[in-house]
Structure 1
Amino acid sequence: MWMYLGLLAALFLGLHNLCKKHAVRGNESFPVLLGTVASGFIFIATFYVLSVFYPEYAQQHGYNFQNISWSQHGFIVIKSLIMTGSWLLAYQALKHLPITIVTPIRSAGPFFTFIGAIFIYKEAPNTYQWVGFFLIIFSVLLYSKIGKKEGIVFKKNKYIFAIIGATFLGASSGLYDKFLIQSLNLNPQTLQFWFCFYTILILILILSITWFPYKHKRAAFKFRWSIIAVGILLQAADYFYFKALQDPEALIMLLSAIKRSQILIAVLVGGIIFKEQNKRKKLVPLFGILLGVFLILYA
């Protein structure tokens, strides 16, 4: 069951990436990120308010929010710091790079998760899983060759390093999620609510230095419907992802790889919508990544 929940998370993540690319075009990345997180927080907060005023109805429909300790709040703050760093880097990269380059690089995230799952959670991969993960990495290297034809030299482009950093932090957060869900016994909605709350506080602090004081930056900002869509789609994806992690049999290394199937939407649909170059050539490494994911699922 947890694999199907992972596929649902991948579907919403793919749609989320398309909307995110639309939201950051011609916009400052940081205020867009604040808008998306805030809209997602408002979405999940409606269920929180429902649980306060109608606790029995909320509990019957799975909207129960836990009362957590200060130490648990501290662990959630750590997650917020990790993901804020990942998102800040990813939004900057997405603004300056084609979505058909950014998304496949982020698809290397399962490799970092794979390494962490072996050493931290002692998850044991088999031969097919080894082949699958290294096939994903090899396919990402092929994308670097295609990127050069679009004027993107991977070794010299700072936004490439930004998306690699974002990928590493995102994978670290994925490993940390298993600890929060299975060791601290946080349910998905409680984790989502407080994670968004603390992330908003962190972003407001950053923007109070980099964006709010500058009138010309505020005037250049364009609000788009996609900003709200990004927040809601991300909350939906996270909910199914966290529900999958609640299963004691769920393997974080496999779940992380399953989520990468979102690249089908990003590369095929996104490449058409945003009219990006070399779409056919990108299908070759795309197939390699999907084959790698398939090998992991088959294993």
Structure 2
Amino acid sequence: MWMYLGLLAALFLGLHNLCKKHAVQGNEVFPVLLGTISSGFLLLVPFYMASHFFKEEMVNIDFYITDIPWKTHGFILIKSAIMAASWVLAYQALKHLPITIVTPIRSAGPFFTFIGAITIYQEKPNLYQWIGFFLIILSVMLYSKIGKKEGINFKRNKWIFAIIGATFLGASSGLYDKFLIQTVHLNPQTLQFWFCWYTVLILLVILSITWFPHAEKRKAFKWRWSIPLVGILLQIADYFYFKALQDPDALIMLLSAIKRSQIIIAVVLGGIIFKEQNKRKKLVPLAGIMAGVFLILYS
């Protein structure tokens, strides 16, 4: 069952990435990020309020947001800091790079998760899983060659390093999620609500330094319908992902790889909608990534 939940998470993540590209194109990145996270938080506020006034009903429909001790708040704050840094880097890279380059690089996230799953959680891969992960990495390397044809030098472009950093931090957060769900025993909606709350606070601090004091930046910001939609789609995707992690049999390294199937939406639909270059050539490494994901599922 957890694999199907992972595929649902991948579907909504793919749609989330398309809306995110639309939201940041030619726009100020930090207020867009704050708007998306705030939208996701506002989506969860009614569940938090209902959990206080209609506890039994919320428990029955499995959307009850539980009370947690301060120590657990600290754990969630750490996750918020990790993901805030990852998103700041990712949004800046997405603003300056084609979505058909950014998304495949982020698909290397399962490799970092794979290493962490072996060393931290002692998850044991088999031969098919080894082959699948190396297929993903080799396919991402092929994307780098295609990216050079679009004037993107992977060794000198700072936005490439930004998206690699964002990918590493995102993978670290994925490993941490397993700890929060299976060891701390947080339910998905409780983790999502407090994670959004602390992330909004962190972003407000960042914007108070980098955006609010600058009138020209405030004027450059453009509100778009895709901004709240990004936050809503992300919360839906995270809910399915965290529900999958609640299964004690779920392997984080496989779940992380399954989520990468979002790349189909990003590369195919994204290439058409945003009219990016070399779409056909990008289908070759795309096939390699999907073959790697298939081998992991098959194993």
TM-score (norm 2): 0.99
Q: Deviations over 1:221-275 (max 9, x none)?
A: 1000100000000000000000000000000000000000000000000000000
TM-aligned CA deviation for residue 283 of structure 1? 0.2
- 1:207-226 pair list within 5 angstroms: 207-226=207-226
In the alignment, the residues of structure 2 paired with residue 113 and residue 58 of structure 1 have an alpha-carbon distance, to the nearest angstrom, of 33
In the alignment, the residues of structure 1 paired with residue 86 and residue 46 of structure 2 have an alpha-carbon distance, to the nearest angstrom, of 26
Gapped regions of structure 2 (runs ≥ 5): none
Quote the residue 2:271 is aligned against. Answer: 271
Quote the residue 1:281 is aligned against. Answer: 281
**Matched residue SS, 1:249:** coil
Q: Deviations over 1:157-214 (max 9, x none)?
A: 0000000000000000000000000000000000000000000000000000000011
Quote the residue 2:231 is aligned against. Answer: 231
TM-aligned CA deviation for residue 57 of structure 1? 1.6
- 1:109-258 pair list within 5 angstroms: 109-258=109-258
**Matched residue SS, 2:65:** coil
Quote the residue 1:70 is aligned against. Answer: 70
Quote the residue 2:83 is aligned against. Answer: 83
TM-aligned CA deviation for residue 65 of structure 1? 1.0
Tell me whether 217-226 or 282-291 shows the greater mean CA deviation. Answer: 217-226
In the alignment, the residues of structure 1 paired with residue 124 and residue 55 of structure 2 have an alpha-carbon distance, to the nearest angstrom, of 42
**Matched residue SS, 2:42:** helix
In the alignment, the residues of structure 2 paired with residue 258 and residue 15 of structure 1 have an alpha-carbon distance, to the nearest angstrom, of 16
In the alignment, the residues of structure 2 paired with residue 10 and residue 45 of structure 1 have an alpha-carbon distance, to the nearest angstrom, of 24
In the alignment, the residues of structure 1 paired with residue 237 and residue 212 of structure 2 have an alpha-carbon distance, to the nearest angstrom, of 30
TM-aligned CA deviation for residue 54 of structure 1? 1.7
Quote the residue 1:13 is aligned against. Answer: 13
TM-aligned CA deviation for residue 53 of structure 1? 2.0
Quote the residue 1:33 is aligned against. Answer: 33
**Matched residue SS, 1:186:** coil
In the alignment, the residues of structure 1 paired with residue 43 and residue 36 of structure 2 have an alpha-carbon distance, to the nearest angstrom, of 11
TM-aligned CA deviation for residue 215 of structure 1? 1.0
The aligned amino acid for 1:12 is F
**Matched residue SS, 2:297:** helix
Number of aligned positions between the proteins? 299
In the alignment, the residues of structure 2 paired with residue 247 and residue 60 of structure 1 have an alpha-carbon distance, to the nearest angstrom, of 19
In the alignment, the residues of structure 2 paired with residue 153 and residue 63 of structure 1 have an alpha-carbon distance, to the nearest angstrom, of 46
**Matched residue SS, 1:166:** helix
TM-aligned CA deviation for residue 17 of structure 1? 0.1
In the alignment, the residues of structure 2 paired with residue 269 and residue 46 of structure 1 have an alpha-carbon distance, to the nearest angstrom, of 33
TM-aligned CA deviation for residue 51 of structure 1? 1.6
In the alignment, the residues of structure 2 paired with residue 220 and residue 30 of structure 1 have an alpha-carbon distance, to the nearest angstrom, of 12
**Matched residue SS, 1:283:** helix
- The alignment yields a C-alpha RMSD, in angstroms, of 0.5
The aligned amino acid for 1:39 is S
In the alignment, the residues of structure 2 paired with residue 101 and residue 46 of structure 1 have an alpha-carbon distance, to the nearest angstrom, of 37
Quote the residue 2:50 is aligned against. Answer: 50
Identical pairs, percent: 78
